[in-house]
Amino acid sequence: MSTIYDNWERLVAAVIRREELWQLCHDHSRSPSISSTSSSSDFSYAWSSTSNVLWDEHDYEPGEKKVVQELKDLVHEAIDSNPLAEIYIWGVKLMEDQRTDTILLKFLRARDFNVKLAFTMMKNTIKWRKEFGIDQLLEEDLGNELDNITFMNGYSKEGHPVCYSVYGEFQNKQLYQKMFSDEEKSHIFVKWKIQFLEKTIRQLDFNPGGISTFVQVNDLSNSPGINKRELLQAQKLAIQLLQDNYPDFVAKQVVNSAIHFNFYELMAIYLLMICIIYIYPEQIPVKYGGLSKEYGDFGVADSVAEVIVKPSSTLTVECPVTRECIVAWEARVVGWEVIYGAEFYPSAEHEYVVIVEKMRRIGSNQQLISSSFRVGQSGKVLLTIRNVTSKKKKLLYRFKIKLSNDL
């Protein structure tokens, strides 16, 4: 077992390194690249026509302006042939302002800049939206049972909203039965997916220089697998609708595809390490190894420091204080398996060091340490991390000082 685990760990490290190199190259190039974390699984969203490339949607490549204008002329002709037609898509009225260019580019990219194919796709999408009743769907109350399956949380380092899809939630037999016990309920699942996407897209910015794409994180760990035929069929239909009618909305896709492996902890580390490349830790939910949560002393505005703890070494990080206050902190080590403790060192000589938290071993299943200490004098709070393994670790931490007049 340990040999297999070590092999997986080396594989994870290799994939992470490749992602880091991809991101480094992206800083100097806009050449399309396939995400090394993409998956061929039926669960995986495959509706990113730009091969998961991050770029400015309005920074045209040579020749793009010309084909945008050609497509715009075709749309003009179609609208002029029916003077009463007012065409809206994703909440934007076509041909009214510069947001139209962004929308046209999405269809062009989905069809490799073939104007005729892009125009056909656009007409089919507009027709489908009318038949599916998108405007009415936005007003429907489809319940909140799926709120933990797909949700938005935070932003990427480039400012893209981040969408999480968590298929392991369908291990809940009661939820699965409620969603997929018959064809009608499966259709509601598809409608919920479309409704969620429509509401998400309408929060995007289609203006020049705006962000009209999002980052997609698919967590397939602990998902039901191929034996849940109803889920697979519903998801397959949803993916097809997304591919046909929602082009070029995924800027980057991160997929944890450990469906058939019993290495949940390792793959959770993998997912976090990939996410950290594109998303700041304070924007990643605690469940996925980050520090973002709905309660507590910290919010997404409180940045997180990252530091490497070398193998078989001890690292301390400190928060100096000069007056009476409460020092709060959050910390986690990716993969943990370390020894952790916290102390307060007074500035005054001959004062005793206060042990705030005794040194203790932290296992790999620990999520987040969140603690605080009331300080009555100047000094510093020290967090100690002792890496007892032969592999380097990454520490994520942040401090916050609350003065007495804020208490």
Q: At what angle do helices 64-80 and 115-132 cross, to 10 degrees?
A: 50
Closest by CA to 241, choosing from 72, 147, 127, 85, is 127
Domain 2-279 fold is Phosphatidylinositol Transfer Protein Sec14p (3.40.525)
Distance CA 304, CA 397 (A): 6
Distance CA 272, CA 75 (A): 44
* pLDDT tens-place values along the chain, 407 residues long: 444 445 445 544 554 455 444 444 444 333 332 233 333 333 333 344 333 333 344 456 667 888 999 999 999 888 888 765 778 999 999 999 999 999 999 999 999 999 999 999 999 999 999 999 999 999 999 888 888 889 999 999 999 999 998 888 888 888 888 888 888 888 888 999 999 999 999 999 999 889 999 999 988 777 776 667 788 888 888 889 999 999 999 998 887 655 444 445 555 666 667 788 889 999 988 888 889 888 888 988 999 999 999 999 999 999 999 999 999 999 999 888 999 999 999 999 888 999 999 999 998 877 899 999 999 999 999 999 999 999 999 999 999 999 866 55
pLDDT at position 68 is 92
Q: Is the dihedral of CA 61, 65, 70, 75 positive or negative?
A: positive
Which secondary structure element, helix H or strand E, spans residue 80, and what is its range?
helix 64-80
pLDDT at position 84 is 57
Domain ranges of the chain: 2-279, 305-406
Distance CA 271, CA 214 (A): 17
pLDDT at position 82 is 75
pLDDT at position 265 is 55
Tell me how far CA of residue 186 lies from CA of 147, 158, 207, in angstroms: 16, 35, 36
**Dihedral angle computed from the Cα positions of residues 259, 265, 268 and 273, in that order, rounded to the nearest 10 degrees:** -130
| DSSP code of residue 140 | -
Read off the amino acid at residue 193: K
* Domain 305-406 is found in CATH 2.40.50.140: no
